[in-house]
Amino acid sequence: MEYGLIGEKLGHSFSKIIHEQLADYSYELMPLNHQEFKSFMEQREFTAINVTIPYKQAVIPYLDHMDTKAENIQAVNTILKKDGKLYGTNTDYDGFCYTLKKHQINVKDKKVLICGDGGAAQAVKAVLQDEGCREIISIRRTKTAHTITYEEACAKHHDCQIIVNTSPCGMYPNHLDRPLDLAAFPDCEAVVDLIYNPLQTRLCVQAKKRNIRCAGGLEMLVAQAKYAVEFFKQTKLADTVIDTIVTQLMSEKRNIVLIGMPSCGKTTIAQALAKRLNREVVDLDEMLVKQQQKSIKTIMAEGGEAEFRRLESEVVKQISKQQGLIIATGGGVIKDPLNPELLSMNGTLFYIKRPIEQLLVDDKRPLSSSTEAIAALWQERKALYEQYADVEIENNADIEQAVTQIISSFTYKK
């Protein structure tokens, strides 16, 4: 291997895509268990590598030289072999600095909680110290001499102003997890989560709901990769390349999620979007019916709406892990607040609006089997659609016009 990434689990990594846009080399992903890691580092058969969980500290004994930054942090994520010797640095430091500045998060004189205590946490801690942070508290699941537990953090440090998640809690495929409940921290003014898959963790979703400034991990990932390429190639790249790659990845990876009343046009719009964008369409109702081998009408007759909603939520949990899809939801998906929360982790929610008089009666759907039933649903759900939507799209004229509006709105903007 010439250039690449080593770590224990790399199935979710975007690093190959990013590096091959930044530089003119092939970049490999090499998952290694602990024994394989030892052999790999002893053999030194590479030109330059990045290092991720859990080896950022384990690589240090194999190095011939660390720069001052890595020495102070005691964690290395970037290694260059030059004249047979291994030189280590830490571009997580630079990536986190970039993220704070990009999102205008001021840590000076602030109290900060750091979730996790691994290599990335050490880089974050070094940045916070250099930026004049007032107090830094590290959290782990088990208490140590230098950390407290999550329970203790919630009980004693509810006055913290900034929370940084460096732990894998909330990372795909365990996207339902989050390290902390922000309700316990009323003074929190900013959240940074180093996880980038999902694109927006549950912690970030909650921060946005509470109008707390929030930054996900994708920007830091691209930034640290840019600084790593500079170290590998002994060159300088413009910071603007970070925005370019983040924009491209967000546009490619995010799901387009359509919500709205039954017969508002979600399925038709989804199919038209698929043709324009060459994306797969997933209809949640169809997915549910296929899994249960029963029609919605039969499910409702046998178990009532409560059972249907339970099954619907299970489908949402499954599909919300995936990326790059067009998702047409059932009309009542917004009744369980967890559903839009999960769908927004990897997607943008578009509320497809159609005048109530244009909505169709459908005797195959028990909840919209009459004009009166549709009117009742409208009154029940209208505010929920508006609450959870990222963008509202009018669909009372030409379908292609609605599709064009969605594509225009979907272009990623910071």
CATH of the domain at 108: 3.40.50.720
Classify residue 246: in a domain, yes or no: no
Gap between the Cα atoms of 43 and 60, Å rounded: 15
Query: Same structural domain for residues 234 and 266?
Result: no
Q: Among 92, 335, 345, 353, which Cα is nearest to 223's?
A: 92
Query: Same structural domain for residues 134 and 189?
Result: yes
Gap between the Cα atoms of 247 and 308, Å rounded: 37
Classify residue 73: in a domain, yes or no: yes
Which pTM was predicted?
0.90
Classify residue 143: in a domain, yes or no: yes
Classify residue 249: in a domain, yes or no: no
Residue 294 is part of a domain; what is its CATH number?
A: 3.40.50.300
Bridge partners for 391 per DSSP: 350
Sign, CA dihedral 4-6-11-13, equals negative
Classify residue 244: in a domain, yes or no: no
Q: What is the pLDDT along the chain (414 residues), one digit of tens a residue?
A: 999 999 998 988 899 999 999 999 999 999 999 999 999 999 999 999 999 989 999 999 999 999 999 999 999 999 999 999 999 999 999 999 999 999 999 999 999 999 999 889 999 999 999 999 999 999 999 999 899 999 999 999 999 999 999 999 999 889 999 999 999 999 999 999 999 999 999 999 999 999 999 999 999 999 999 999 999 999 999 999 999 999 999 999 999 999 999 888 999 999 999 999 999 999 999 999 999 999 998 999 999 999 999 999 999 999 999 999 999 999 999 999 999 999 999 999 999 998 887 776 565 555 555 677 788 888 899 999 999 999 999 998 788 999 999 999 887 554
pLDDT at 192: 98
Name the domain count of the chain: 3
Amino acid at 273: L
Q: Is 56 one of the annotated active-site residues of the chain?
A: yes
Residue 83 is part of a domain; what is its CATH number?
A: 3.40.50.10860
pLDDT at 407: 93
Which H helix or E strand runs over 398? none
Helices in 162-281 by DSSP H: which ranges? 202-209, 218-233, 240-253, 266-277
pLDDT at 357: 77
Domain that holds residue 61: 3-90+221-239
Classify residue 324: in a domain, yes or no: yes
Classify residue 184: in a domain, yes or no: yes
Gap between the Cα atoms of 237 and 348, Å rounded: 31
Query: Same structural domain for residues 405 and 314?
Result: yes
Query: Same structural domain for residues 263 and 376?
Result: yes
Query: Same structural domain for residues 85 and 234?
Result: yes
**119-141 per-residue burial string, b: 16 or more CB within 10 A, e: under 16:** bbbbbbbbbbeebebeebbbbbe
Query: Same structural domain for residues 258 and 389?
Result: yes
Domain boundary (239, 274, 302) is at 239
Query: Same structural domain for residues 307 and 392?
Result: yes
Catalytic: which of 9, 16, 38, 56? 56
Query: Same structural domain for residues 175 and 71?
Result: no
Query: Same structural domain for residues 387 and 262?
Result: yes
pLDDT at 414: 47
Query: Same structural domain for residues 155 and 303?
Result: no
Query: Same structural domain for residues 100 and 203?
Result: yes
Query: Same structural domain for residues 268 and 164?
Result: no
Classify residue 247: in a domain, yes or no: no
Q: Among 87, 83, 81, 88, which Cα is nearest to 1's?
A: 81
Give the 3-state secondary structure of residue 67: coil
